[in-house]
Structure 1
Amino acid sequence: MAHDRSYDYSFKLLVVGDSGVGKTCMILRHVEQQFAASYISTIGIDSKVKVMNLDGLKIRLQIWDTAGQERFRTLTSAYYRGAMGVLLLYDMTNSKTFDNVRDWLQNIDDHASPDVIKVLVGNKKDLVDTREVETARARDLAATHGIPFFESSAKSGENVDECFLAAAKLIYELRRKQEKRTVFDSPSSGGTVSRQPSTIRVEAARAGNQQQDGGGCSC
């Protein structure tokens, strides 16, 4: 019986960072093309789905919105399992959130797959007058860790879709390499790659199943 799916690949993508950097606003802008001037901080974990076209294929992104508060850090770490990509956000108007990027990178290294895709994103680019983190400083950090870097604004929408698209492309390229290795390692494959839809399983945490941006967004 044929698979009845509306996508070719499904990837789990986490959005992490300190509380108030704009994680929820970024996701809402990307998925629903909306911006909320005020938003209740995420408690624990929430997720949304976005299907995008990539190289003629339909890619389903299951985007997990994690709470950035320190008291939830242990809970969110469980959700790294099965993730193929992580968007790491900081607030360009709050240097402390940028200083904490190194801690988040370590957190990712400790809990995620060794080949997980990481993208660094400086949010709230629209707040020019209150910027505290210069572009060059963030770019140098990203280069040191060999990861892509974007500056975005969930309020205006600038570079929001580009962040998610970049992550999806890198995940897809990694997935294709993994598929090719599987084909080459299989004596019965005949050198062909199956075009059946491929799903990266989203694992739920075992324990406990469940910005200030521009105009005052604290998401």
Structure 2
Amino acid sequence: MVTSVEFGARMITIDGKQIKLQIWDTAGQESFRSITRSYYRGAAGALLVYDITRRDTFNHLTTWLEDARQHSNSNMVIMLIGNKSDLESRREVKKEEGEAFAREHGLIFMETSAKTASNVEEAFINTAKEIYEKIQEGVFDINNEANGIKIGPQHAATNASHAGNQGGQQAGGGCC
């Protein structure tokens, strides 16, 4: 059981530009809910993660999504992640259910396995690409740090809150 908030950073390249993602992982613990709300205020993106082998984690998504939407910029990019795709035989939440939830709430969706690293990098890249596209379209004002975006000398730093990872395994480097 996680007893603290995990923090990590990851550098990725999009359109030849270095982008630094700052990742705050609360592992979906209720005790960090009030702290998580403050992270949303300065976030350009969030990954809501549930464990495909535990229906209760999927059932809590609505609450986490409400928190994210209530306490964040209305343009925040939110990706829904079904984690532990390597445990197909123990699956309690069908992929189609995750896809339907994401579609209904306007989220990006994918399944990952933190254990095998399947789709983990893609989840971060896809979230960063969506944020980058919103910057290019002028949706995010890069001069307003309240949007969770800071322009550095060589890269953009983007905060990505990672909340709702209930029962997901922590992979090295501060990812899922």
TM class by shorter chain equals: 0.7 to 0.9
* Inter-partner Cα distance in structure 1 for 2:88 and 2:67: 30
SS at match of 1:125: coil
Is 1:86 paired with 2:46?
Answer: yes
Percent sequence identity over matched residues? 39
Cα deviation for residue 76 of structure 1 reads 1.6
State which structure, 1 or 2, has the greater radius of gyration over its C-alpha atoms.
1
Q: How does 1:96-115 map to 2 (within 5 A)?
A: 96-115=56-75
Map Cα deviations across residues 53-112 of structure 1 (whole Å, 9 max, x no partner): 111111111111124221221122111111000000000000110011111110111111
Structure 1 match to 2:2: 41
* Inter-partner Cα distance in structure 2 for 1:108 and 1:76: 9
Structure 1 match to 2:117: 157
Instruction: Normalising by structure 2, report the TM-score.
Output: 0.79
Cα deviation for residue 199 of structure 1 reads 4.7
Map Cα deviations across residues 169-216 of structure 1 (whole Å, 9 max, x no partner): 00111112228989xxxxxxxxxxxx96565586xxxxxxxx465xxx
Higher relative contact order (CA 8 A, sep 6+): 2
Give the letter aligned to residue 126 of structure 1.
D
Choose which of 104, 109, 114 in structure 2 pairs with 1:144.
104
Cα deviation for residue 50 of structure 1 reads 1.0
Instruction: Normalising by structure 1, report the TM-score.
Output: 0.64
**Structure 2 portions without partners, runs of 5+:** 143-151, 160-166, 170-175
Aligned residues: 155
**Structure 1 portions without partners, runs of 5+:** 1-39, 183-194, 203-210, 214-218
Q: Write 1 or 2 for the structure with the bigger share of strand.
A: 2
* Native 8 Å contact 1:82 1:201 kept in 2: no
Q: Is the alpha carbon distance of 1:61 and 1:53 closer, same or farther for their aligned partners in structure 2, counting shifts above 3 Å?
A: same
Give the letter aligned to residue 77 of structure 1.
R
Map Cα deviations across residues 121-176 of structure 1 (whole Å, 9 max, x no partner): 00001111110000111101101112110011000111111111100000111112
* Inter-partner Cα distance in structure 2 for 1:197 and 1:179: 22
Q: Is the alpha carbon distance of 1:110 and 1:80 closer, same or farther for their aligned partners in structure 2, counting shifts above 3 Å?
A: same
Is 1:74 paired with 2:34?
Answer: yes
